[in-house]
Chain A
């Protein structure tokens, strides 16, 4: 009977599959694009282009070679850290894409944080006051938000908070037209503005963030409230809570215990939601004119800009993998049930 630290075993096992998973992501992203029925060269050349022009483009981009050779070339480039060059802008895909990532991060990180705060808070309230007015209110509010399409929610918020009340600025992207970007350090405008000490710019960045963040956060909060209500509701009827009440623990502590009991499950849901957001939220980015990675990717897709699409799929894949690995490590560290090998 050999006993190793199950935590290390689990982490090692997760790390071991990363290269394989990555390879699969790369191959899938390559094949997905390669299988698109439309001819890439034709798309680049335009509808009315001559046959010779299309052939020339095919040759130039290496699209006339067998699929396997193309895959080999692609992998070879990847190994050297080269994601290729955009068919359209002629700029390297990697730097082009990464320049759009900070804008998206600046949007989704606060949105996720706000969504978690509201969702987990209200979900816990609903679970604790199960069946009471608060619970029914939270559930109804959540259902309404979940039933509202995101673009409509964004437009509604714009209509009320910008158009009618003038509390918030017009959807002109990250900054109002009167402002210029602060000097580049991190790409995150909030951070860059602080570094540069441009406080009025910072204020403008922040007010421009409110609406898009809300548009993403509210549906997230609705989903999370629903999940939290179920998970925490189950934890609140566990034996140890009933016992805690019987030995006179305060209700506040009991709620905290229920939340601690549920945190691994909640973390898993949040990580899943985050993984779904890293690709950028195309709808919100278009409604608010946000120059994020989602907008960038959608234009790559409509243009059939193959290297850009592949780069984007690879990027989302890597981030998702990292999020899940971090989740596993956190779960094993925080939850003795997993550490001890109990199924939970």
Chain B
């Protein structure tokens, strides 16, 4: 009978100055070697506090009380001094954080950071160490380790930076790896590569993984066991297979039903009103069936034609949007999907004229707006509104919620009377699902979800015909996310608004949108009915995006990943996707135009995928960390 690798007994964490229940109360955990355990919970569930206590990072005046935090081969962490704990970190417990750039110093080069790390752990052996780091980096899928070692944080992509963090976490072959939301800040296409590296089933090494995440799909596909936390307490734990298929606790059920695209689980609970997402899926399906031809009969609410936008700074220029055309019908929701840097947010800002295009036409309800002066635009602002990604940052901290919502009304002509303004503001609060009594609160006195509802109330208070939703849910908790999406759809039914929904996540986009438009490096590469774009992608990039969607059902095996992504420089005049494409030919050295091979669908590719026979090339997986740990010299 082997002992557990990690045993946490009766852990409680309290923060000084905090009122009410402690952040974590009486938490127990046993983790065996080779086991990958998912620690799941929303913000405030205490998951970060737990891993910080295990790492010994919570210092007075905050309090950690534990009967024991025992790590096999090391001892009881709860009784160790800060100096002893420092040595344990990285040597025995590897850590990967959420923000990939958080791992990197903005000014010190990557190589120097490895040097600092290794010398603080007494393992620096000069040039030899560096070359071993280089080998590890290239095993982690970094094509040019020398360049990365000489680089600074700002010169690396998120995926590269996270690989450097993985290298730092695994160099000393710790027996426990803690990953705190390791892919939340990464693009979906990179998410799976990183997870494949850190969370493959352990075949060779004995390393255990504690994966902290809010994303149930990640747990479903990459963990053996799961612990569900709510407000500092464990509500459910067990093997992933049984918890996901037969959740016992109502909170677990609610979490599972909030996952976008979680159809199988939903249909069982939909009748009890348990699935807010179920409602929207049904709603959207009905609408697609009702109008297969995307609103082309009436005048579109928003028309964007041949729009270009280039940003210049310090000697370089970046084409954020090039030659993009798009139209959105009345009451229609178009989702704009792409990874960071695809130009989707810029396009959203151009559609609301927060950014002026360099060239092209933008028209709202048939009227050109791209050439209007700021003063004339202000008169049109009530008709077009925007909801931002970061609810708190988009609100003025000095303005009460009520005043924030009433501000856009100032642009209405003729001016409203004071009582009319109060009525409109109250209506907007109700429409956004917010109690009007909260109007007297300041933004910091509201929760993240409430802040975003204020943002929505502010956007709909003028009864706009067109609203840009720039990732309105991506900084919110899962259950809040589903409720906000639901609210947005209800509002659309009531007011007949058109939405441009910007998202990096195909599953969420598919849940809310009638049509999906996929952008890559500033160009539209594919568009079509939401349902079809996700399930039958035509463009290789869309395929990559849809493969990146993890299924929240652990019984459904993840679709094989096509290729490791290599991102090089853009070749002028060539297809923007050329460097990453497996289907490219000589023809791709000129840029493909958007064409419509299938009705209602458009794709910019010379070699679109055949909708009926999605190619099944064998996945060329990189070696996982599991294998690397064994090949790595543990004394490095």
Instruction: Give the interface of A toward B (CB within 8 A).
Output: 1-6, 9-10, 238-240, 242-243, 245-250, 253, 257, 260-261, 263, 334-337, 340-342, 344
Using Cβ atoms and an 8 Å threshold, which residues of chain B touch A240?
101-106, 153
Q: Which residue of A5, A242, A341 contacts B313 across the interface (Cβ within 8 Å)?
A: A341
Please report the C-alpha to C-alpha distance between residue A4 and residue B316 in the assembled complex, in whole angstroms: 7
Please report the C-alpha to C-alpha distance between residue A243 and residue B99 in the assembled complex, in whole angstroms: 9
Tell me whether B105 and A247 are in contact (CB under 8 A): no
B132 within 8 A of A: no
Further pairs besides A260-B107, A260-B108, A263-B107: 5, Cβ < 8 Å: A239-B97, A248-B88, A261-B106, A261-B107, A335-B107
Using Cβ atoms and an 8 Å threshold, which residues of chain A touch B86?
248, 250
Tell me whether B105 and A261 are in contact (CB under 8 A): yes
Using Cβ atoms and an 8 Å threshold, which residues of chain B touch A257?
105, 108, 116
Q: Which residue of A10, A239, A344 contacts B102 across the interface (Cβ within 8 Å)?
A: A239
Known A6-B316, A243-B103: A336·B155 in contact at CB below 8 Å: yes
CB of B388 to closest CB in A, whole Å: 19
Tell me whether B90 and A248 are in contact (CB under 8 A): yes
Please report the C-alpha to C-alpha distance between residue A6 and residue B313 in the assembled complex, in whole angstroms: 9
Using Cβ atoms and an 8 Å threshold, which residues of chain A touch B106?
240, 261, 336-337, 344
* B interface majority secondary structure: mixed
Using Cβ atoms and an 8 Å threshold, which residues of chain A touch B55?
246
Instruction: Give the interface of B toward A (CB within 8 A).
Output: 55, 57, 86-91, 94-95, 97, 99, 101-108, 116-117, 120-121, 152-155, 165, 168-169, 313-319, 570, 572
Q: Which residue of A1, A263, A342 contacts B572 across the interface (Cβ within 8 Å)?
A: A1
Please report the C-alpha to C-alpha distance between residue A344 and residue B318 in the assembled complex, in whole angstroms: 19
CB of B134 to closest CB in A, whole Å: 19
Using Cβ atoms and an 8 Å threshold, which residues of chain B touch A249?
116-117, 120
Q: Which residue of B87, B120, B152, B168 contacts A253 across the interface (Cβ within 8 Å)?
A: B120
Using Cβ atoms and an 8 Å threshold, which residues of chain A touch B318?
1
CB of B116 to closest CB in A, whole Å: 5
Tell me whether B89 and A246 are in contact (CB under 8 A): yes
Tell me whether A1 and B319 are in contact (CB under 8 A): yes
CB of A28 to closest CB in B, whole Å: 30
CB of B51 to closest CB in A, whole Å: 9
List of 9 A-B pairs having minimum Cβ-Cβ separation, nearest first: A239-B102, A248-B89, A341-B314, A336-B152, A6-B314, A248-B90, A246-B95, A247-B90, A9-B315
Tell me whether A246 and B97 are in contact (CB under 8 A): yes
CB of B186 to closest CB in A, whole Å: 15
Please report the C-alpha to C-alpha distance between residue A254 and residue B319 in the assembled complex, in whole angstroms: 38
Please report the C-alpha to C-alpha distance between residue A6 and residue B314 in the assembled complex, in whole angstroms: 5
Using Cβ atoms and an 8 Å threshold, which residues of chain A touch B572?
1
Using Cβ atoms and an 8 Å threshold, which residues of chain B touch A242?
57, 97, 102
Known A6-B316, A257-B108: A1·B89 in contact at CB below 8 Å: no
Least CB separation from A247: chain B residue: B90
Please report the C-alpha to C-alpha distance between residue A221 and residue B165 in the assembled complex, in whole angstroms: 38
Please report the C-alpha to C-alpha distance between residue A340 and residue B121 in the assembled complex, in whole angstroms: 32
Using Cβ atoms and an 8 Å threshold, which residues of chain A touch B319?
1
Number of A-B contacts (CB under 8 A): 100
Least CB separation from B317: chain A residue: A1
CB of B382 to closest CB in A, whole Å: 32
Q: Which residue of A9, A239, A247, A263 contacts B101 across the interface (Cβ within 8 Å)?
A: A239
Using Cβ atoms and an 8 Å threshold, which residues of chain B touch A335?
107
Tell me whether A341 and B316 are in contact (CB under 8 A): yes
Please report the C-alpha to C-alpha distance between residue A342 and residue B107 in the assembled complex, in whole angstroms: 12
CB of A206 to closest CB in B, whole Å: 37
Please report the C-alpha to C-alpha distance between residue A5 and residue B316 in the assembled complex, in whole angstroms: 9
Least CB separation from B155: chain A residue: A340
Tell me whether A246 and B57 are in contact (CB under 8 A): yes
CB of B457 to closest CB in A, whole Å: 32
Using Cβ atoms and an 8 Å threshold, which residues of chain A touch B315?
2-6, 9, 341
Tell me whether B107 and A248 are in contact (CB under 8 A): no
The contact sample of 7 A-B pairs, CB cut-off 8 A, is: A4-B315, A240-B106, A245-B57, A248-B88, A257-B108, A260-B105, A337-B107
Tell me whether A336 and B107 are in contact (CB under 8 A): yes
Least CB separation from A8: chain B residue: B315
Least CB separation from A335: chain B residue: B107
CB of A329 to closest CB in B, whole Å: 14
Tell me whether A248 and B313 are in contact (CB under 8 A): no
Known A1-B317, A248-B88, A250-B120: A336·B154 in contact at CB below 8 Å: yes
Using Cβ atoms and an 8 Å threshold, which residues of chain A touch B152?
336-337, 340
Using Cβ atoms and an 8 Å threshold, which residues of chain A touch B313?
341
Please report the C-alpha to C-alpha distance between residue A219 and residue B387 in the assembled complex, in whole angstroms: 48
CB of B154 to closest CB in A, whole Å: 5
CB of A326 to closest CB in B, whole Å: 19
Known A240-B102, A257-B108, A336-B106: A248·B121 in contact at CB below 8 Å: yes
Please report the C-alpha to C-alpha distance between residue A250 and residue B108 in the assembled complex, in whole angstroms: 16
Tell me whether A243 and B102 are in contact (CB under 8 A): yes
Please report the C-alpha to C-alpha distance between residue A4 and residue B312 in the assembled complex, in whole angstroms: 12
Of A242, A248, A257, which is in contact with the most chain B CB atoms at under 10 Å from its CB? A248
Using Cβ atoms and an 8 Å threshold, which residues of chain A touch B154?
336-337, 340, 342
Please report the C-alpha to C-alpha distance between residue A1 and residue B104 in the assembled complex, in whole angstroms: 28
Known A4-B315, A239-B102: A247·B107 in contact at CB below 8 Å: no
Tell me whether A253 and B116 are in contact (CB under 8 A): yes
Least CB separation from A260: chain B residue: B107
Using Cβ atoms and an 8 Å threshold, which residues of chain A touch B91?
248
Tell me whether B314 and A9 are in contact (CB under 8 A): yes
Tell me whether A2 and B314 are in contact (CB under 8 A): no
Please report the C-alpha to C-alpha distance between residue A240 and residue B107 in the assembled complex, in whole angstroms: 11
Known A246-B89, A248-B87, A257-B105: A3·B316 in contact at CB below 8 Å: yes
Tell me whether A247 and B314 are in contact (CB under 8 A): no
Using Cβ atoms and an 8 Å threshold, which residues of chain B touch A340?
152, 154-155, 314
CB of B468 to closest CB in A, whole Å: 24
CB of B94 to closest CB in A, whole Å: 8
Please report the C-alpha to C-alpha distance between residue A291 and residue B147 in the assembled complex, in whole angstroms: 55
Please report the C-alpha to C-alpha distance between residue A9 and residue B107 in the assembled complex, in whole angstroms: 21
CB of B571 to closest CB in A, whole Å: 11
Using Cβ atoms and an 8 Å threshold, which residues of chain A touch B90?
247-248
Using Cβ atoms and an 8 Å threshold, which residues of chain A touch B116?
249, 253, 257
CB of B573 to closest CB in A, whole Å: 11
Using Cβ atoms and an 8 Å threshold, which residues of chain A touch B104?
240
CB of A129 to closest CB in B, whole Å: 13
Please report the C-alpha to C-alpha distance between residue A243 and residue B570 in the assembled complex, in whole angstroms: 33
Tell me whether B120 and A243 are in contact (CB under 8 A): no
Please report the C-alpha to C-alpha distance between residue A245 and residue B88 in the assembled complex, in whole angstroms: 11
CB of B395 to closest CB in A, whole Å: 23
Please report the C-alpha to C-alpha distance between residue A1 and residue B322 in the assembled complex, in whole angstroms: 13
Please report the C-alpha to C-alpha distance between residue A334 and residue B106 in the assembled complex, in whole angstroms: 11
Please report the C-alpha to C-alpha distance between residue A3 and residue B315 in the assembled complex, in whole angstroms: 6
Using Cβ atoms and an 8 Å threshold, which residues of chain A touch B117?
247, 249
